Homo-oligomer: A and B are copies of this chain.
Amino acid sequence: MLSVDEARDRILAGLAPLPGETVGLASAWGRVLAAPVLARVTQPPHDVSAMDGYAVRAADASAGARLRVVGTSPAGHPWDGMLTAGEAVRLFTGSVLPQGADTVVLQEATSAADGWVTLTEAAVPSRHIRRAGQDFPHGGVLLPAGRRLTARDIGLAASGNHPWLTVHRRPRVAILATGDEIALPGEPIPAGGIVSSNAHALAAFVLALGGEPLVLPVARDDINAIAAGADAARGADLLVTTGGASVGDHDLVQAGLGQRGMALDFWKIAMRPGKPLMHGRIGDLPVLGLPGNPVSALVCSVLFLHPALARLSGLPAAPPPSVLAKLGGPLHANDHRADHLRASLAEAADGSLIATAYERQDSAMLRLMAQAGGLILREPNAPAAGAGAAVRVIRLDALGL
């Protein structure tokens, strides 16, 4: 059986960032840049005042000096004269510094009347001026390719004068749930059946990671129905199936997708929960076969679908983000399979993260999986560990997963 890391590497090796598309700035939040954003303007475009006050010549501006106010320059309305000896121009935050001026005196350090201003303290040369290009110069890199855009990035791109941005296309993920026993929520439940949760949990998972889910109709446990599901996934960047991925009497997904020529890469991983994880390819279409068990399907999604979507989106090919935490209680030694313990998280008084594994780790406990703050990562054959020991944790809450 493959290790988790080897399986992830093999999945990622078959994926490449999707091509770019042009989107309006207002639609670009959360998208991943496909090209760097270079400044199209210099910011600030001129030397500007950092405060409300007066532009003066430092040579004139001793304490007690009385200067003639020859103009006013609100932000956006530059004064286009030339300031000369004994003169001042009224300025506001963001006002362009007039030619001839070399410093700004604060409004609070003046008294003004009848077109004249008197300085109550001496001006210091070059004070309260934001120099042209202080924030960024024309042509400077504002944002690198491969960055997922935050609200602040949108502001920065706007201020660099970009109404459009080039971002990677969203990954389109077709989701095919299989099984005779499952019914969609609100629909009649067959005898011995259960309500299907995987397809919609996975669709939400895809949305949370910036992809576009395509939820296919549930395929019955029938080779032809599953093969037809593969046909319906045409145009997707990834096909995700749930259920029936391991080889057993009622595990038909491999057979169904095999009818459409799937080249199987692997179908078993040394991990818990979730051993039967399948990876293959139908022509250009990568296929990820998740277990039918909802908890196993979600854990496998965190470990494999998250990195796959990140890679397709233009982000680095890497494991899902994890942080160091301290164990809130002891753990037994692990067996040969990597384990992923559902855990509650808390912040200790010193700010460190405390992760406490739930008593019950049964993979049929979807409610506990939904409540968990994160997954404690346990390496194969990890020794027993006491409370306070350091462990790596994938924070599910922070990912919207």
Hey, which bits of chain A sit against chain B, CB under 8 A? 25-26, 28-30, 41, 43-46, 50, 52, 73-78, 92-96, 130, 134-136, 142-143, 149-164, 179-182, 184-187, 189-198, 200-205, 207-208, 215, 221, 248-250, 292-294, 298, 301, 323-325, 347, 350-353, 362, 364-367, 369-370, 372, 390, 396-398, 400-401
Contact B135 A365 (CB under 8 A): yes
**Contacting residue for A248 out of B29, B52, B136, CB 8 A:** B52
Interface contact A325-B298, CB-CB below 8 Å: no
Contact of A151 among B182, B191, B366, B401 (CB under 8 A): B401
Q: Which residues of B contact A398 (CB under 8 A)?
A: 398
Contact indicator A192/B77 (Cβ below 8 Å):
yes
Q: Please give, as numbers and ranges, the residues of chain B lying within 8 Å of A325 by CB-CB distance.
A: 351
Output the nearest chain B residue to A155 by Cβ-Cβ distance. B201
Instruction: Find out whether the CB atom of A96 lies under 8 angstroms from the CB atom of B192.
Output: yes
Q: Which single member of B45, B158, B194, B352 contacts A351 (CB below 8 Å)?
A: B352
Q: Interface of chain A, helix or strand or loop or mixed? A: loop
Contact of A159 among B197, B202, B221, B400 (CB under 8 A): B197
- Rounded to whole angstroms, the CA-CA distance of A307 and B26 in the bound complex is 22
Additional 19 contacts, C-beta under 8 A, given A94-B292, A156-B197: A29-B203, A29-B207, A30-B400, A44-B194, A50-B364, A76-B180, A78-B191, A92-B250, A130-B364, A134-B365, A155-B201, A155-B366, A156-B366, A158-B196, A158-B200, A162-B186, A163-B186, A163-B187, A324-B351
Q: Given the complex of chains A and B, what is the CA–CA distance between A44 and B44 in angstroms? A: 63
Contacts of A44 in B (CB 8 A): 194, 364
Kindly list chain B residues whose C-beta atoms are within 8 Å of the C-beta of A198.
Answer: 155
- Centre residue among A45, A151, A154 by max chain B CB count within 10 A: A151
The chain B residue sitting closest to A297, CB to CB, is B155
Among B135, B187, B203, B221, the residue within 8 A (CB) of A76 is B221
- The chain B residue sitting closest to A39, CB to CB, is B367
CA distance A204 to B163 in the complex (A): 14
- In the assembled complex, the Cα of A84 lies from the Cα of B353 at a distance in Å of 53
Chain B residues within 8 Å of A78, by CB: 191-192
